[in-house]
Amino acid sequence: MKQYGAILHTRWRAAERASDIVGEWAEDGSPYIITVPPQLRDQLVEMQNALCAKYQELDCLEIEARNYKRKCEALLPAEETE
For residues 41-67, b (16+ Cβ closer than 10 Å) or e, as one string?
A: beeebeebeeebeebeeeeeeeeeeee
Predicted local distance difference test score (pLDDT) of residue 43: 98
Predicted local distance difference test score (pLDDT) of residue 79: 67
- Hey, where are the domains in the chain? 2-75
Predicted local distance difference test score (pLDDT) of residue 50: 97
pLDDT digit string (tens) for 33-79? Answer: 999 999 999 999 999 999 999 999 998 999 999 999 998 888 887 66
81 — pLDDT class (breaks 50, 70, 90): low
Q: Per the confidence metrics, is the pTM higher than 0.85? A: no
